[in-house]
Amino acid sequence: MPVALAVAGIGGILTNAAFPYHSWWWAGIAGLGLLFLALHGARAGRGFLLGLVWGLAFFGPLLSWSLTSVSGHWLPWVALTVLEASFIGLFGLLYAVVLAREISGGREALVGALLWTAVEQLRMEVPFGGFPWGALAHSQVSGPLLSLAAWGGTIVVGFAVALAAAALATLATHLHRPVGTLTTAVVAAAVVAGSVFVPLPSTDAETGSLEVALVQASVPERGATWEAQGAEITANYRRLTEEWVATGAAADMVLWPESAADLDPRSTPEVRESVDGAQAAAGVPILFGTQRYPGDGTRFNEYLVWTEAGQVDGYAKQHPVPFGEYIPMRDFFRSLSSAVDMISTDMAAGTEPGVLEVPVAALGRSVQVGVGICFEVAYDPLIRENVLLGAEFLVIPTNNASFGFTQEAFQQRDMTRFRAVENGRAAIQVATTGVSAVYAPDGQMITGSTDELYTEWTGGATIPLRESLTATAVMGGWPRIVVWAIAGLWVVAALASHRRMEEE
């Protein structure tokens, strides 16, 4: 048992290395493979414990930025880590239950990969809307499996990682079965090597090309309250925009990040002056983030389209982050810790999809822009809905100022890159403090800021506008339902088999 626990813990740590900072895509396969190896022959209770240990070793360092975001308070980080690790414990339990049926080596890898995918997709949905951070698919943006994103999204890529990992573990535990071992080895190699031949989405423009400008103005003083420096921050966005225009550069629209005008320009004259001044200098629409307080004790996180006429369109974040932007069941959780009151104003959820109409004079029409604010980039259905509703490219405005010098911004940038390939759209992350990037529909970076955080940066890029749909978009949520159904049937069949054996 101690050896298996150590193997599981090492596996979780190794899998974390597949994500930024290291971004060793192969570590996702190897690290998960160690969990499958540790689970070999385990019973249900032991399977849960091994999965939990792997999850703690993985999510602990992966989500360490949550410590910084709440000024070192350890409770949110521990609670989030334990919650997410519990899902891996559930996977370990189910894997042990199903594998107790003496499934053959080749099918063992298939069943393991399917169960992993089913539980990971469940984790992305519950509780409180789920938390997709740490999905294995997002670790593969620098590896060959990225091409599969357009053919099934996080489900297909995550399944491929899990299948390769389970096949390697099966290879190690079935060396006494030459034929089955060889077949399993071929499966593992084919999953990874075969993806190289899967075509990436085209980068051709289908509905025109667009010149975009990105502005990353950082923050004047790390640690100062956003309210205290809000007007100064927006003034800095105006300054950088005017300096960019002074170089002779031009664009069809200018993109500022989430919270670039955290004080609402619709009700704050000083901030409106900065926004109007920047828009007049650029001569094109500016898209930026702000906060709206409706007067009922809540707030909305919004992304606006601003022209010489003022606001012409806007989107309110649909998926606020539980315990980060609002507190669900506040009274209950306050009884456990007063730290919940660090979030004094709950963010309300928007009800409309994130597709904005932005007038583009050069095209003589409005361009459909798909928006996911900050953490919304992690949610498959939300981004997919934007594409299905006609989004011609994607924008992820984000404010990473509260995460300090952590890996959070880089993890998020990888998700933006994944969304580009998954949906066959140019995808842009524009951030307050870094990192900002523009990706083509095939996942290649067109331009971006340096990896140095808390820096000012402006950049421009030409992106293709596209309307064709990838297989991922066309299939919608059906692959998830199919995976859950098959996994559920396997678990039910295993439980029924156990019951029959007990009765006999």
pLDDT 10s digits, 326-343: 888 887 877 777 777 777
State yes or no: is 317 an active-site residue: yes
Query: What is the pLDDT at residue 47?
Result: 97
Q: Which of 108, 120, 258, 408 is catalytic?
A: 258
DSSP sequence for 408-468: HHHHHHHHHHHHHHHHTS-EEEEESSS--EEE-TTS-EEEE--S-SS--EEEEEEEE----
Closest listed residue to residue 385, CA positions, set 442, 437, 325, 425: 425
323 confidence band (pLDDT: 50, 70, 90): confident
Condensed to tens digits (0 to 9), the pLDDT of residues 448-504 reads 999 999 999 999 999 999 999 999 999 999 999 999 999 999 999 888 877 776 666
The C-alpha angle 351, 357, 360, rounded to 5 degrees, equals: 165
Is the model's pLDDT at 176 over the cut of 90?
A: no
Gap between the Cα atoms of 30 and 7, Å rounded: 11
Catalytic hit among 84, 108, 374, 392: 374
Per-residue confidence at 103, pLDDT binned at 50, 70, 90?
Answer: low
Which has the higher per-residue pLDDT, 501 or 251?
Answer: 251
Say how far apart CA 461 and CA 464 lie, in whole Å. 10
pTM of the model: 0.95
Confidence check: pLDDT of 224 > 60? no
Q: Is 258 a catalytic residue?
A: yes
Inter-residue contact 386 to 394 (CB < 8 Å)? yes
What pLDDT does residue 338 have? 74
Residues written for the chain: 504
Q: Give the model's confidence band at 212: pLDDT under 50 very low, under 70 low, under 90 confident, else very high.
A: very high
Q: Which among 241, 113, 251, 87 has a CA at the least distance from the CA of 169?
A: 113
Instruction: Answer whether 153's CB lies under 8 Å from 137's CB.
Output: yes
> Can you say how many angstroms the Cα of residue 70 is from the centroid of all Cα atoms in its chain?
20
List Cα–Cα distances, 371 to 98, 111, 329, 356, in angstroms. 41, 36, 28, 7
Is 374 catalytic? The answer is yes
Q: What is the pLDDT of residues 24-79, one digit of tens each?
A: 999 999 999 999 999 998 999 999 999 999 999 999 999 999 988 776 678 788 98
Mean pLDDT (the chain) is 92
Give the pLDDT confidence score for residue 107 in this predicted structure. 80
Q: How far is CA 213 from CA 105, 316, 352, in A?
A: 53, 22, 26
Whether 393 contacts 463, CB under 8 Å: yes
Range in 123-127, 173-177, 355-359, 495-499 with the lowest mean pLDDT: 173-177
With 0-12 CB in 10 A as exposed, 13-18 as middle and 19+ as buried, what is 185? middle
Closest C-alpha to 213, from 413, 468, 459: 459
Given the residues 317, 385, 392, 422, select the one marked as catalytic. Answer: 317
